[in-house]
Amino acid sequence: MKCLTDTTEERIKEAAKTVFLEKGFDGTTTRDIASAAGINSALMNYYFRSKEKLFQSIFNDVCTLMFEGMLELINQPISLRDKISKLMDHQFQMMMQNPNLTIFIMNELRLNPERLYGTLGMAKQVPESIFHQQIEDAIAQGIITPIDSDHILTMIIANIQFLFVSKPMTMLAQGLDEAGFNAFATRHMEYVKDMICEYLFKPESVT
């Protein structure tokens, strides 16, 4: 019975994630979620007493999806250049799999900035990370251009996420279908990776 309960709850959460990412909190009804999950509204209300409670659970999950993988990467004992490359690959793959993620988070934080508080703990870990220390060491050794680690992460996130935020405009302007956009995005990500590394690393540095 517990297995069935867990399965139903997960099905509701997966359906809610899909609908919330598409419509946002205000545009979503419990009926929408129940329909997407293939259950009735009464059963959905049994598992999640309110749309607000379900939304907060989903919002926490997507923020974790966005930041947790990055936190794991910035603390890996690998070279700085490899780490930057892996951070970009992680962001890119995450956005390929969840193209509405950035718009969803931006819209909800614009309407309800207090929802950001739950993610601040993740952001506060950056100054204590291996990545931050690697940046400081590389600057001291003259290997990279002096820059704060937060700016590097912002460059990575912004350059990749905007590619997906602007996806409809890019597809329309260039006459791309889904496969064409994916190919364009993959090439663009490599250009951005080269651009950031060219800016950061001084000639002959290999760290």
Confidence of residue 196 (pLDDT cuts 50, 70, 90): very high
In degrees to the nearest 10, what's the CA dihedral of 95, 99, 104, 110?
Answer: 70
Amino acid at 153: L
Q: Which amino acid is at 119?
A: T
Query: In the chain, which residues fall in CATH 1.10.10.60?
Result: 1-49
Higher pLDDT, 121 or 65: 65
Superfamily name with CATH number, domain 1-49: Homeodomain-like (1.10.10.60)
* The predicted structure's pLDDT at residue 116: 61
Radius of gyration of the chain (CA): 20
Would you tell me which CATH number, out of the four given (1.10.260.40, 3.40.50.720, 2.102.10.10, 1.10.357.10), belongs to the domain 58-200? Answer: 1.10.357.10
pLDDT surpassing 80 at residue 113 = no
Q: Output the pLDDT for position 71.
A: 86
- Secondary structure, 3-state, 64-79: HHHHHHHHHHHCCCCC
pLDDT of 99 over the 50 cut: yes
- Residue span(s) of the chain under CATH 1.10.357.10 come to 58-200
pLDDT of residue 23: 83
Output the pLDDT for position 2.
44
Question: Using one digit for the tens of pLDDT, what is the confidence trace for 130-146?
Answer: 999 999 999 999 999 99
Taking the CA atoms of 169, 185, 82 and 122 in sequence, report the sign of the dihedral they define.
Answer: positive
